[in-house]
């Protein structure tokens, strides 16, 4: 199974949607809550090419993007292959 990291905040509806999609795929992921953690948010931003919005999603170390990007991968039929790769 793929290593999935998702940077989130507690009240972000896009974060909830992205996590629900991953849950529906029975994909295990590491959630990194950056709500009140400026260090973690800075690390997220550095990894995401300067982006500061949440969620920011990484699969096997590759930056996927946010919720919209994750949903686009699903609609295009590419998400399952990414999740299966290890």
Rg of the chain over CA atoms, in angstroms? Answer: 12
Task: Say if residues 82 and 73 touch (Cβ distance below 8 Å).
Answer: yes
pTM passes above 0.85:
yes
> Where along the chain do its domains lie?
4-84
Class of the domain covering 4-84: alpha beta
Angle made by CA atoms 85, 5, 54, in degrees to the nearest 5: 130
Query: For the segment 1-27, what is each residue's pLDDT rounded down to a tens digit?
Result: 899 999 999 999 999 999 999 999 999
pLDDT digits (tens, 9 = 90+) for 29-56: 999 999 999 999 999 999 999 999 999 9
């Amino acid at each position: 199974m793929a290593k999935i990291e998702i940077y989130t905040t507690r009240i972000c509806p896009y974060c909830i949607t992205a996590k629900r999609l991953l849950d529906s795929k029975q994909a295990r992921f590491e959630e990194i809550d950056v709500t009140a953690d400026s260090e973690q948010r800075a690390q997220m931003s550095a990894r995401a090419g300067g982006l500061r919005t949440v969620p920011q999603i990484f699969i096997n170390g590759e930056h996927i993007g946010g919720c919209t990007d994750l949903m686009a991968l699903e609609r295009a039929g590419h998400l399952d292959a990414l999740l299966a790769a290890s």
